[in-house]
Structure 1
Amino acid sequence: MTRATAVPETVTIHVPFCVVKRGGRKEMQMPEGATQLRRMDNTLVKALARAFRWKRMLESGEFATIAELAEREGIATSYMTRVLRLTLLAPCMVEAILDGKQGPEVTLAGVLKDVPLVWERREWRLD
């Protein structure tokens, strides 16, 4: 069997992407218009779960104050109050996070920084 054309030794493939930092790790992001698999932000999902768990513990009367609960959990009271604000997100936003449909710009650090701003942002593409 003979070949009509020679096979090149090196093949170069161009794949456009950019690297973004999410939850303390680097992640590849596809360019605009490219189909992308939905990926849950585990850091954000974990924070949501903690927030709703802590809220339930406070509402049940298991702990009288946030400070008491924070001491038991071994975390700073100020951090706990910021995470508890996640329970104020609209249900559609919580659902988007759990489904991995929030925009790539939506991170735990950004959400904890200012919850009211999150409501106004256009990064909540619920497609």
Structure 2
Amino acid sequence: MTENTIRVVIPLTVRRKNGRPKILPPADHGPAEARAQDAHVLRAIARAWNWRRKLERGEASTIADIAKADRVSDQYVGRTMRLAYLAPDVLEKLLIHRTPPSLSLNELVTASDLPWSDQLAAVFAISNDEK
């Protein structure tokens, strides 16, 4: 190996399961599900921002136009679009840090009605001291 080579060692275990090899993480490594962001939340936020941009650019004039184009109900579009107005701190934790919310998607939509100063505590179930 040359001087410029970096060697990375990851302690993994390979086990056979149902005749196929399966790579197992180290024992001290927590389950991936506990750290993973819900794909439905990320997808809903992305759709909300896409719909908001369409309205702002004039590509769609009403929520009904968006609903018709995406083959969903206008109530669904109106409710989901509220996610585009979440507080910047909440969006940063959800999208950049991939912190899973302590709320369901429907409760997250409802939390978007709160003032920005209250959303972080509501979405991630933290006290004002921890902010």
Q: Give the Cα separation in 1 of the matches to 2:35 and 2:88.
A: 19
**Length-normalised TM-score, structure 1:** 0.61
Name the residue aligned to 1:54. 51
Deviation digits for residues 2-61 of structure 1 (CA, Å, limit 9, x no counterpart): xxxxxxxxxxxxxxxxxxxxxxxxxxxxxxxxx776311110000000000111111111
Identity %: 29
Asked if the contact 2:51–2:81 (Cα under 8 Å) also holds between the matched residues in 1, the reply is: yes
1:73 offset after TM fit, Å? Answer: 0.6
Does residue 121 of structure 2 align to residue 123 of structure 1?
no
Report what 1:85 is aligned to: 82
In the TM superposition, residue 115 of structure 1 has moved relative to its aligned partner by 2.3
Deviation at 1:114, TM superposition (A): 4.3
Query: Which of structure 1's runs of 4+ aligned residues deviate more than 6 A?
Result: none
TM-score, normalization by structure 2 = 0.60
Size of the aligned set, in residue pairs, is 92
CA shift, 1:112, in A, is 2.2
Partner of 1:101: 99
> For residue 111 of structure 1, what is the aligned residue in structure 2?
108
User: Are the aligned partners of 2:108 and 2:123 in contact in 1 as well (CA < 8 Å)?
Assistant: no
CA distance in 2, matches of 1:122, 1:86: 12
- With a CA cutoff of 8 Å and minimum separation of 6, indicate the structure with the bigger relative contact order: 1
Q: In 2, distance between residues paired with 1:101 and 1:45?
A: 11
Q: Identify the residue that residue 19 of structure 2 maps to in structure 1.
A: none
RMSD over aligned CA atoms reads 2.6
Q: Is the 8 A contact 1:106 1:123 kept in 2?
A: yes
Write the deviation string for residues 65-101 of structure 1: whole angstroms up to 9, x where unpaired: 1111111110010110111100110111011111221
Q: Of residues 45, 68, 71 in structure 2, which corresponds to 1:71?
A: 68
Which structure carries more helix by proportion?
2
SS in 1 for 2:109: helix
